[in-house]
């Protein structure tokens, strides 16, 4: 349905066929994101979209640091 509205992701969605569209207020403008199943799971715990985005950003940073640590050991 999102594709029929002319919306296209900037990157791969990992094979997910269902997504919701999120609009985040950034103060002076908005950012639009696709919400995938894990995002939905996070918002079941805490309904705040900003909380879920913070959890996602923290997870990406942890993954980045872990990957960097693995690369340094080689």
Tokens representing 26 are 């950034």
- The tokens 């340094």 sit on which residue? 72
Q: Would you say 57 and 46 are in contact if contact means Cβ atoms under 8 Å apart?
A: no
d(CA 29, CA 68): 33
pLDDT tens readout for residues 19-30: 888 888 889 999
Q: What is the pLDDT, as a whole number, of residue 58? A: 95
Indicate whether 1 pLDDT > 70. no
User: How many C-beta atoms surround the C-beta of residue 35 within 10 A?
Assistant: 19
pLDDT tens readout for residues 40-51: 888 898 999 889
Percent of the chain with pLDDT over 90: 24
**69 vs 57, more confident:** 57
d(CA 34, CA 7): 10
CATH code of the region 3-73: 1.10.530.10
Q: What is the pLDDT, as a whole number, of residue 39? A: 86
């Amino acid at each position: 349905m999102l594709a029929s509205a002319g919306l296209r992701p900037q990157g791969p969605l990992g094979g997910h066929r269902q997504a919701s569209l999120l609009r985040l207020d950034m103060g002076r403008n908005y950012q639009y994101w696709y919400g995938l199943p894990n995002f939905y799971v996070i918002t079941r715990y805490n309904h705040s979209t900003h909380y879920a985005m913070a959890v996602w950003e923290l997870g990406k940073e942890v993954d980045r640091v872990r990957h960097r640590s693995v690369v340094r050991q080689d």
